[in-house]
Structure 1
Amino acid sequence: MNEHLTDPASEGPAGGWGSVKSIARIYGETLSNPAVLETLKQQNKPGGFMCVSCAWPKPANYHPFGFCENGAKATLWESTSARCKPDFWNDHTVLELRDWKDHDLEMAGRLTHPMRYDADTDRYVEVSWEEAFSGIGAVLKRLEPKEVVFYSSGHAGLEASYLYALLARLYGNNNLPQSSNMCHETTSVGLTKVIGSPVGTVVWDDLEKTDCLFFFGQNPGSNSPRFLHPLQEAKQRGAKIVTFNPVIEQGLVSFVNPQSPRQMLTGEETVISDLYLQVQSGGDVAAILGLCKVVVEADDDAKTLGLKRILDVEFIEQHTTGFDRFVDCVRTASWSDIERESGLTEPDIRRAGQIYVEAERVIGVYGMGLTQHSKGALNIAMLANLLMLRGNIGREGAGVCPVRGHSNVQGQRTVGIAEKTKLVPMDKLKELFDFDPPTEDGTHMVDAVKGLMSGHVKGFVSLGGNLLRAVPDQRDMEVAWAKQELTVMVSTKLNRSHLFPAKAAYILPCLSRSEVDDQATGNQYISIEDSFSHIHGSIGKRSPASEHLKSELAIIAGIAKATLPVNPKVTWDDWTGDYSLVRDLIEKTYPEDFAKYNERLNEPGGFYRGNAAHDRIWKTPEKKAVFTTPDQLNSLSFPDRPGRYRLLTMRSNDQFNTTIYGYSDRFRGIEGTRDVVLMCAEDIAEAGLAPGQTVRLVSDFEDGRRRELGGLVVTQHALPKGTICSYYPECNVLNAIDHHDELSKTPASKSIPVRIEAEP
């Protein structure tokens, strides 16, 4: 495929008037106060607040409009004028609300008061903060520490996250699963194994100096639109972009910059991908092996002709191990096997490989299209292999670039939200707070879900998120969730996780990031970490949605004081009054990453906490970067067979994670519904179906359990044969909790084995 590739269902390029209209629609639907426009002007700028959407970096030379479509939607969504007050429950029961859609629940507006579930009336009732904390503390004291899980989404700032992890460890466990368990944990595990770093190696300057980007399973148009600006700039200076993705994502096809008056007036678009290859779901291992084969063959030819080597021999010899075994695998791999497993042709892979060979500095970009497979870690190792062949890790304009999906999901790990004890400096915690931290590893999200289903987990505290919609085996999870002794949800709006309350259940409403967080020493800064390992200060300036809201940090402190014994070195009130004191603690715990933390908090572009692999220091057991020889040519744990499809779950242009803003997926031409299954014309015909027909998807995961999702309308779409698509989180009911990456346990949501059944 070439630069003229397009999706016939799409309304056109990413950005442009479509982006403006989409933002305007959300502005109208949320009835946000016009003052929100001033809030948007402060977004992603020093002295302003950092976006609550994706974790894309904020450049030092920021633009007057530092937000994208998704970031604007997220801000407008939280700035709604609608309020979900206690009297909302006069008209609704919990059971009734289970029939509401996710979008409608959130449209009820911002939560305004702490609430406790009343089983007699099947409603939530208002309580004071003191009553809420006291009730939560009483149950936590009664439960065994191993029975309680402290989950966090990627929203809370570094200060609250540090104290949340401290709360769990003072309570007596390391049960700190996090939203990365369900998306980029494969990055943390997979990259660490091969380059010794759990995060990407690229910084902003690399984007400005690269001459080629290879994309795998990442969709900037919907998930990180601010990425489109450096991509456009790269194209304008002559850089090449190659994309491997089963779905045609418009943001990687073409882009009209909404911040360019000329482009908006003329409709002039920038073609993003020079080559766009629709690899089949699970086929990236073979595709990347094919690219490596092109590189090795080109190097063999160069040696024969006495020309400059294609491989970076010096880098390979000095910085890597495992090359000889890997290159033998590359040479013996057959093109017929590569074509079969990737779903691509040899000529197309050769075209992509030649672009890689000719580039001086290459960045490998990826998203959950690589991480969410049974062999997701192998996908990442293969990408690292490709980059290492030409020394494209640890030098200017090159590197590996995972794109994180939540604003502070990476930073929370950095400051101690981790279930693995080896990732946390327990000795420092012991010294600082005079206690013995628990030494046993805690629960991963998969283990937590299994613990809920078995009854071993009896209490769940959720710092943000909508866990019941985010995890696999949703229906079983709902039943198990409601059987607990305690559920605590720190939230801004209603979501489905509130509708299956435990015996004791609390909703604790928190401030949004754009709102004033007024404490004893005034309005407080928080901080977040972006995907490039830069730390940014963030301060809200909007009036809070309710005078009864508390910050996430204040809520954590309130729970801790009601639960834990007094410790003179643990001063919750002081920390709540002055967040800079918490930053001092973080600096003492992680001195290399956070030196002069408070001094550098508002540096334009954030301050860099460093990355050893970026400097070619490999913190692997081998002290070198590791070439990985694949043991199979796909990233699946199941074979193909007649009637079995690979279901790829996707996000709409009109959502962020489990938050559904509306029903307009303009890039795919789907309006007014999410109840669809996308299939190519050949698959539709072979299955004896027709566009517009209603079908049911049934899990084909071989554990003897039936999982199904009905009422889906067959919709013809440009996809590889055998790959079908439908929306997340609705399709989580089809994914088994045991279907996950082998190393990280990240759910394999991009290749769920399913069958299709026609409905009457």
Structure 2
Amino acid sequence: MTGPKTEQTSDQKIEAYTDPAGGWGSARSLVDILTREEIPVTGAAMLMRQNKPDGFMCVSCAWSKPAKPSTFEYCENGAKATAWEQTRKRIGPDFFERHTVTELLTWSDYALEEKGRLTHPLRYDAQRDRYVPVSWEDAFDEIGRELKSFDPNSVVFYASGRASLETSYMYALFARIYGTNNLPDSSNMCHESTSKALPQSIGVSVGTTVLEDFETTDLILFFGQNVGSNAPRMLHPLQDARRRGVPIITFNPLRERGLERFTNPQSPIEMLTKSSTQISTQYHQVKAGGDIAAITGICKALFAADRDAKAQGRPRILDVGFIEEHTHGFAEFEAFCDRQDWAALEVKSGLKREGLEAAAAVYARASAVIGIYGMGLTQHRRGTETVQMLVNLLLLRGQIGRPGAGICPVRGHSNVQGQRTVGIADDPALVPLDKLKELYGFEPPREKGLNTVEACEAILDGTVKAFIGLGGNFVRAVPDTRRMEEAWRRQRLTVQVSTKLNRSHLVHGEVSYILPCLGRIEIDEQASGPQAVSMEDSTSCFHGSKGVASPVSDHVRSEPWIVAQLAKATLPPHAQVDWDGWVGDYAKVRDAIEATYPATFKDFNARLFEPGGVHKPLAARHRKWETPTGKANFVLPPDGLEEDPDMPARGRDVIDLITLRSNDQFNTTVYGYHDRFRGVKGTRDILFMNENDIARLGLADGEIVDVATDASDGFDREVKGLRIVRYDIPEGNCGGYYPELNVLIPLWHHDVQAKVPAAKAIPVRITRSAMQTAPGGA
């Protein structure tokens, strides 16, 4: 296997987990990580300030912060993120005296981050193959000199999705004054399909629901999002909805525990009685990539039911008044659904007609419906089309712009949506460039910049010479790992603004710096006193956040300060941008954000800590459609339900791989080796397979196999030594862990429109391995 080795613990175990999400398993996991990170008391105290008006917004997922928070307004994974960031463990210069970069390249993702927080700015010393301490002044002097030597369009400014609105605004402005729109971000890897799909359909690029909608909805449709591991706080409104008798219909390839049953760990009665709430009332295990067919089947059933109701003089199933007044393209969409064959829909979705009709029957009776989805819809070759098909389903019954209803994409990084709102975007059409020109007296670049996939392509062909990373672990998160790591080292300059050590620091350019920053949980003291920052959640609400913990080191600096110093070292003096003034008082940055986006951020500073957040104005919530047609659009898949014409013909031995995150993980950060809900402990070298596929390929449960991408582009992509685990997953699909299996994703295997890597349906071949035991590694 390529890359770092995965530690294998001595107590490896594959054993079915029968308990619900939450409950005692969640409580034990919390105690474990607080103890491991050596903060059992201080960590518990910090958690009491998490997602509270006088505290900090969670550094994990972007789920909404309620106006009236509970006593324990955090979840298992949010608590892990806090403990991981506020660990007592440190990585100082002495650590790098003991370990060369070559040695560290063999360490796993977990082992690197587990060593603790970075404490000093560091520069790579090629002669010693080590990172060595450097003064902030010297670091900025050299980085500035290097940046001045490049064509601006040969430099990439990446943002991971955790940086605040204030930092993101400054970072985007720095890049554009420098002269480029090369501002890719983590949304390009996850939810860009949403950003492409929704503007075409309803005229906004984000979801239309707010947290209050969950209190009045009477049906939730759930697609491709593992709530139990990726956004556990959402389980509380889901549980409340179920207690009101609200049906939840789930479409997901794997039966995820959080979508089945939940015990609220904050309820003494539930914990003592071990009672749980059934979450999904229908659970449809759709094939990977089969969601378009599944949704088409539901729509086809609705059309048939509506015609039957009309013929018999009963109330219509479709919202005819809404369709006539507010939509465009209905007749074409009806014709599209009518000409689809049920047998083909069953094959493509992996579901029976009766199941899809059962889902349609419940939907037909509901008045207020929320459609929730995650990367199970977006990370596909046809991700944009799939999101639009879900919108089509909601439009049929007027479920956009109604209380208790709407479209709800669940974002991952805690501020990835907000970064786009304030200018982190490769597409200049998304940014008020004329306003920036007016405010700051420069001519912004007008040509499109590089998104994540395009940046990778440009690194491969040598066009990109330098990479600045505002957080994240880019090298580990992107597809085609082996090819990308080889090309990455050919860059002249790589700079990473980080809290912890990761692989992106070790696969470095000729000149390389690590700039350690404060975490969001830490007190950020500047000239005007302790600072607050702001984020935007998945429901388009802005929230203030205040650090509560002491900084990990006297040598770390805030992200706004680092961005300002980079800008000052690189750009000519700019009288109209007061970098030092902004750093001294972040309220001035928020004033600048309001001046740039006045309609979105009206009275931003005054409303920063408004209970429940400041709602971003969204025209679609009020049934105002900012589309070329002036209406909400039924959008048809360009290729219908035909096979992807750009993919090679496949044999029966080709299976679609779904990359997964474990219960002990957030994005590329691995907290441990216990995927509790899937019953895997002590290893990540796993391939989940349907028992019929195991038998058909002549393999056995527990056998060690090699997995290779089915592609004919001349590049070998293979991972060796995975253990087969028989699992409840659709035939023709298998599952394995991200980011270890990113090596199998070709860079060209992405959403055709949005260029999101298609990590949820990678065609692979599985063969018996020459290895007798899993080696540990990816």
| Within-5 A mapping of 1:348-747 | 348-630=355-637, 631-633=639-641, 636=644, 638=647, 639-747=649-757
Q: Deviations over 1:76-132 (max 9, x none)?
A: 000111000001011100001111000000111100000000000000000011111
Aligned amino acid, residue 556 of structure 1: V
Q: Deviations over 1:500-554 (max 9, x none)?
A: 1211100000001010100000110000000111000001010011011101100
Give the percent of matched residue pairs that are identical in Structure 1 and Structure 2: 56
Query: In 2, are the aligned partners of 1:287 and 1:342 still within 8 Å (CA)?
Result: yes
Distance in 1, matches of 2:411 and 2:306, equals 34
TM-score calculated relative to the size of structure 2: 0.96
1:423, distance to aligned residue in structure 2 (A): 0.5
Q: Report the CA distance shift for 1:634/1:386 in structure 2 as closer, same or farther (over 3 A).
A: farther
Structure 1 equivalent of residue 105 of structure 2: 98
Query: In 2, are the aligned partners of 1:283 and 1:633 still within 8 Å (CA)?
Result: no
Structure 1 equivalent of residue 4 of structure 2: none
Q: 3-state DSSP class of the match of 1:695?
A: strand
Distance in 2, matches of 1:163 and 1:235, equals 43
Q: Deviations over 1:202-244 (max 9, x none)?
A: 0112111001001110111000000000000000011000000
Query: In 1, are the aligned partners of 2:426 and 2:449 still within 8 Å (CA)?
Result: yes
| Within-5 A mapping of 1:181-200 | 181-200=188-207
Query: In 2, are the aligned partners of 1:374 and 1:635 still within 8 Å (CA)?
Result: no
Q: Deviations over 1:624-671 (max 9, x none)?
A: 111122333278553542111110000000000000000000100011
Q: CA RMSD in A?
A: 1.1
2:326 corresponds to 1:316: no
Structure 2 equivalent of residue 339 of structure 1: 346
1:491, distance to aligned residue in structure 2 (A): 0.5
1:729, distance to aligned residue in structure 2 (A): 0.5
Query: In 2, are the aligned partners of 1:648 and 1:752 still within 8 Å (CA)?
Result: yes
Instruction: Tell me which of 151, 158, 166 is aligned to 2:158.
Output: 151
Distance in 1, matches of 2:643 and 2:153, equals 34
Distance in 1, matches of 2:204 and 2:653, equals 40
Query: In 1, are the aligned partners of 2:747 and 2:757 still within 8 Å (CA)?
Result: yes
Q: 3-state DSSP class of the match of 1:181?
A: helix
Distance in 2, matches of 1:689 and 1:28, equals 41
Distance in 1, matches of 2:69 and 2:403, equals 22
Query: In 2, are the aligned partners of 1:15 and 1:256 still within 8 Å (CA)?
Result: yes
Structure 2 equivalent of residue 749 of structure 1: 759
Aligned amino acid, residue 377 of structure 2: L
Structure 2 equivalent of residue 238 of structure 1: 245
Q: 3-state DSSP class of the match of 1:52?
A: coil
TM-score calculated relative to the size of structure 1: 0.98
Comparing 549-558 with 627-636, which one deviates more in the overlay? 627-636
Aligned amino acid, residue 247 of structure 1: L
Distance in 1, matches of 2:625 and 2:719, equals 45
What residue ranges of structure 1 are gaps of 5+ in the alignment? 1-6
1:598, distance to aligned residue in structure 2 (A): 0.2
Query: In 2, are the aligned partners of 1:376 and 1:635 still within 8 Å (CA)?
Result: no
Query: In 2, are the aligned partners of 1:290 and 1:349 still within 8 Å (CA)?
Result: yes
Q: Deviations over 1:667-699 (max 9, x none)?
A: 000110000100010000000000111111100
Structure 1 equivalent of residue 6 of structure 2: none
1:467, distance to aligned residue in structure 2 (A): 0.4
Distance in 2, matches of 1:478 and 1:306, equals 65
Distance in 1, matches of 2:655 and 2:498, equals 37
Query: In 2, are the aligned partners of 1:284 and 1:634 still within 8 Å (CA)?
Result: no
Q: 3-state DSSP class of the match of 2:242?
A: helix
Distance in 2, matches of 1:270 and 1:575, equals 48
1:12, distance to aligned residue in structure 2 (A): 1.6
Runs of 4+ in structure 1 over 6 Å off:
none
Distance in 2, matches of 1:504 and 1:63, equals 48
Structure 2 equivalent of residue 225 of structure 1: 232
Q: Deviations over 1:388-442 (max 9, x none)?
A: 0000111011100000001000000000010111100011111111111111111
2:307 corresponds to 1:292: no
Instruction: Tell me which of 275, 278, 285 is aligned to 1:278.
Output: 285
1:293, distance to aligned residue in structure 2 (A): 1.2
Q: Deviations over 1:713-757 (max 9, x none)?
A: 011000110010000001100001111001100000000111112
Structure 1 equivalent of residue 72 of structure 2: 65
Q: Report the CA distance shift for 1:499/1:469 in structure 2 as closer, same or farther (over 3 A).
A: same
Instruction: Tell me which of 28, 36, 39 is aligned to 1:32.
Output: 39
Q: 3-state DSSP class of the match of 1:193?
A: helix
Distance in 2, matches of 1:25 and 1:650, equals 23
Aligned residues: 754
Structure 2 equivalent of residue 4 of structure 1: none
Structure 1 equivalent of residue 3 of structure 2: none
Query: In 1, are the aligned partners of 2:475 and 2:507 still within 8 Å (CA)?
Result: no
1:28, distance to aligned residue in structure 2 (A): 1.4
Query: In 1, are the aligned partners of 2:15 and 2:680 still within 8 Å (CA)?
Result: no
2:171 corresponds to 1:161: no
1:33, distance to aligned residue in structure 2 (A): 5.8
Distance in 1, matches of 2:366 and 2:749, equals 38
Aligned amino acid, residue 632 of structure 1: G
| Within-5 A mapping of 1:37-116 | 37-116=44-123
Q: 3-state DSSP class of the match of 1:599?
A: helix
Q: Deviations over 1:244-276 (max 9, x none)?
A: 000111000000001100000001100000000
Distance in 1, matches of 2:709 and 2:184, equals 26
Q: Report the CA distance shift for 1:33/1:113 in structure 2 as closer, same or farther (over 3 A).
A: farther
Query: In 2, are the aligned partners of 1:535 and 1:608 still within 8 Å (CA)?
Result: yes
Structure 2 equivalent of residue 19 of structure 1: 26
Query: In 2, are the aligned partners of 1:159 and 1:553 still within 8 Å (CA)?
Result: yes
Distance in 2, matches of 1:448 and 1:257, equals 43
Distance in 1, matches of 2:413 and 2:542, equals 15
Q: Report the CA distance shift for 1:11/1:90 in structure 2 as closer, same or farther (over 3 A).
A: farther
Query: In 1, are the aligned partners of 2:706 and 2:719 still within 8 Å (CA)?
Result: yes
Query: In 2, are the aligned partners of 1:285 and 1:635 still within 8 Å (CA)?
Result: no
1:309, distance to aligned residue in structure 2 (A): 0.5
Q: 3-state DSSP class of the match of 1:538?
A: strand
Aligned amino acid, residue 299 of structure 2: C
